[in-house]
Structure 1
Amino acid sequence: MSLLALDSRWRRLNDETYACPCCGRSFGGLIDIGFGHPDAWPHGDLQPTAGATLNVGADQLSADLCRCDGLYFIHCVLPIPIRGSEETFLFGVWASVTEDDFMSYVADATGERPGFQGCAGWLMNDLPRFENAEPLACGLKAPETASERPTLIAQDGPLARAQAEGISFDHLLDIYAASGEDIRPHLNG
Structure 2
Amino acid sequence: MKGYACTSCGEHHEDLPFAYSAPAPAFWQDGLPDSVLEPERCVIEGQHFFLRGRLVLPVLDADDDFEWGVWVSVSKDNFFRAEELWDSPERVEEPPYFGWLATELPGYEPGSLNLKTHLHTRPPGERPVIEVESTGHPLAVEQRDGITLVRVQTVAEMLLHP
- Pairwise TM-score range, normalised by the shorter structure: 0.7 to 0.9
**CA 1:89–1:134 in 2, change beyond 3 Å: closer, same or farther?**
closer
- Would the aligned equivalents of 2:60 and 2:146 in 1 still touch at CA under 8 Å? yes
Q: CA deviation at 1:81?
A: 1.0
Unaligned segments of structure 1, at least 5 residues: 1-10, 15-21, 44-54, 183-189
CA contact (8 A) 2:52 2:72 kept: yes
Task: Describe the superposition over 1:100-154 as per-residue Cα deviations: whole angstroms up to 9, x where unpaired.
Answer: 00011111113398553321111111111225175100111111x2111001111
1:174 aligns with 154
Displaced runs of 4 or more, over 6 A: none
Mapping of 1:44-123 within 5 angstroms? 56-69=32-45, 70-111=47-88, 114=91, 115-123=93-101
TM-score (norm 1): 0.71
1:178 is paired with a residue whose SS is helix
| Aligned counterpart, 1:33 | 20
Is the 2:53–2:130 contact (alpha carbons within 8 Å) kept by the matching residues of 1?
Answer: yes
SS at match of 2:3: helix
Q: Which has the larger radius of gyration?
A: 1
Asked if 2 retains the 8 angstrom alpha-carbon contact of 1:104 and 1:116, the reply is no
CA distance in 1, matches of 2:14, 2:62: 20
CA RMSD for the aligned pairs? 2.4
Query: Distance in 2 between the 1:112 and 1:56 partners?
Result: 34
Cα-to-partner distance string for 1:23-57 (whole Å, 9 max, x where unaligned): 8x532x643100110010011xxxxxxxxxxx753
The CA distance in 2 between the partners of 1:166 and 1:173, in whole Å, is 14
Distance 1:117 1:102 in 2: 13
SS of the residue aligned with 1:87?
coil
Q: How do 1:137-148 residues align onto structure 2 when only pairs under 5 Å count?
A: 137-143=116-122, 145-148=123-126
How many residue pairs get matched? 150
Gaps of 5+ in 2: 5-10
CA contact (8 A) 1:13 1:30 kept: no
Give the % identical residues.
21
TM-score (norm 2): 0.81
